[in-house]
Structure 1
Amino acid sequence: MSPAGVLPTKSTRRLFRYIVPFPPGGGADLVARSITRKITETTGIQFLVDNRPGGGTILGAELAARAAPDGYSIFPGNNTSHAINPNVQPKLPYDPVRDFAPVTRLASFPNILVVHPSLPVRSVKDLVALAKARPGQLNCGSPGNGTAPRLAGFMFSDAAGSDIVHVPYKGSVAALNAWVTGETYLMFGSLAASENPAYSTLFL
């Protein structure tokens, strides 16, 4: 991170690249575009928001790790890329400590449980009872293997003593769209993405 006295000015022609390891439209993407837009308005510095989804943030994290260490590549490290993946992926193409220099905390994303209105439930207690009564018949979508919502879904299924089938998608937007259309019955999603009016059905 550059000291304030040597930060690039409006005359800087080179773009900063903000690598988002998720598809456009999700919570991380919304934060990236909001932050970079405000910085550009304030300083004139230009950003390229580069969405690189895939592999449960691994593709984006690897791209950032291999970028030149010149301060022009920014990566929003998250609990998936820097906590979950190092513990569940035996061979990561990056080192979460050695390959990154922490700068600041940008945002936090509370996860919420969303349930399709076709299910006859009105509470988490109802959902647990239904899952136990229908083992293997309910499914839970997620933005992909290794992501925090996937881990939350697994922990919920385990704590409930039920067999809920996991369905991975390529990002939170795809997972939410599958839930809206009834392709999946429930999912854990970030509050930022799930608050979209298009998804306003039933939240538990």
Structure 2
Amino acid sequence: MLKPLTALFAAAGLALSSLASAQAYPSKTIKIIVPFAVGGIADTFGRVIAQKLTETWGQPVVVENKGGAGGNIGADLVAKSPPDGYTLVIGNIGTHAVNPFLMKNMPYDPLKDFVPIAHVLDAEGLLVVNPALPVKTVAELIAYGKANPGKLSYASGGLGTTSHLAGELFKSMSGIDMVHVPYKGNSPAITDVMGGQAQMIFATMPTVIQQAKSGRLRAIATLGKTRAKAVPDVPTIGETLPGFDVANWIGMFAPAGTPREIVDRLNAEVQRIMRAPDVEARLETEGAKFVPTTPETFAAFQKAESAKWAAAIKAAGIKQE
């Protein structure tokens, strides 16, 4: 009987030690890995969260940018870190939903190697066209595409980017034939849409909102489930094509196995931070919105996004690189 009792006491001791560790959290510097370059929306709000956590907890929370391989390098670093809450990642639709279906030899499994903490934000999207294109609504765009098969072209920031996948989803749901014109980044793609070399782009709001307001581009629709505060009179694509929804989302993740107490505490802090008036104002400026979730609802969302984009990529015939 001694051995079972010894094992039982050891297990109990380990559980108490884990609980004590979680209750003492944080007791040292926390690293938030942003697997992208400095200056993007993931970096911007990763730093907002880090600053607010530092102020609240009195422990340094620092951001480290580890870009490369579509975000896989930084995300993989976190996947292989100790599950103690001291190394976190700001992932996005690419690193935690799309990349496995676009890239060969993925170094991690987005669903198995992480525990979702919080859905930080959705970057609002906008479908804009060159003003010379004789359409002002999604219905008119679809009618024009069906009357002129193969004559419409849409630009994107590159193969497998959200702007590319949104275009492929629109093609499949609308039944029109469009030519994809990939660029090395969103800026040259947007420039060529304004110049008429391509006719439209499914872009993030901040990258095209000023051009749309000035008339250099025409805003046709937003990409998410609901209308955007920045352009409340612009309808969603889903109002014409029910079920269309493209969210360029960002979330916080920890390595799988991170104690639930730490996950819950981080979730509560993200909720508090993203609801702060100054952060809400910053979100609106950036053309983004906070999406409140529990860890469970964010995990369900991530799983649904993975299934959705796996199907869309397969249907579009996009090959892994």
TM-score normalised by the chain length of structure 2: 0.49
- CA distance 1:135–1:98, change in 2 (3 Å): same
DSSP-derived class of the 1:146 partner = coil
Contact 1:141 1:166 in 2 (8 A): yes
Matches within 5 A, 1:123-142: 123-142=137-156
Q: Aligned letter for 1:95?
A: D
- How many aligned positions are there? 193
- CA distance 1:141–1:181, change in 2 (3 Å): closer
The offset of 1:54, in angstroms, is 3.9
Q: Does 1:50 align with 2:57?
A: no
- CA distance 1:63–1:5, change in 2 (3 Å): closer
Matches within 5 A, 1:1-204: 3=22, 5-8=24-27, 12=28, 14=29, 16-21=31-36, 23-43=37-57, 45-50=60-65, 52-55=67-70, 57-67=71-81, 69=83, 71-89=85-103, 91-169=105-183, 174-182=185-193, 183-191=197-205, 193-194=206-207, 197=210, 200=213, 201-204=217-220
Q: Percent same amino acid at aligned positions?
A: 35
Which runs of 5 or more structure 1 residues have no equivalent in the other structure? Answer: none
How many Å separate the matches in 2 of 1:168 and 1:68?
39
Where does structure 1 differ by over 6 angstroms across 4 or more consecutive aligned residues? none
The offset of 1:154, in angstroms, is 0.3
Superposed CA deviations along residues 180-201 of structure 1, whole A, max 9, x for unmatched, are 443543222334x346535644
The offset of 1:50, in angstroms, is 0.7
How many Å separate the matches in 2 of 1:34 and 1:72?
17
- Larger helix percent: 2
- CA distance 1:54–1:90, change in 2 (3 Å): closer
Contact 1:84 1:148 in 2 (8 A): no
DSSP-derived class of the 2:90 partner = coil
Which runs of 5 or more structure 2 residues have no equivalent in the other structure? Answer: 1-20, 221-321
TM-score normalised by the chain length of structure 1: 0.71
Superposed CA deviations along residues 69-125 of structure 1, whole A, max 9, x for unmatched, are 554432223333333333454532211133223222222334332223342321112
Contact 1:115 1:202 in 2 (8 A): yes
Q: Aligned letter for 2:210?
A: P
How many Å separate the matches in 1 of 2:57 and 2:78?
24
The offset of 1:156, in angstroms, is 0.8
DSSP-derived class of the 2:115 partner = coil
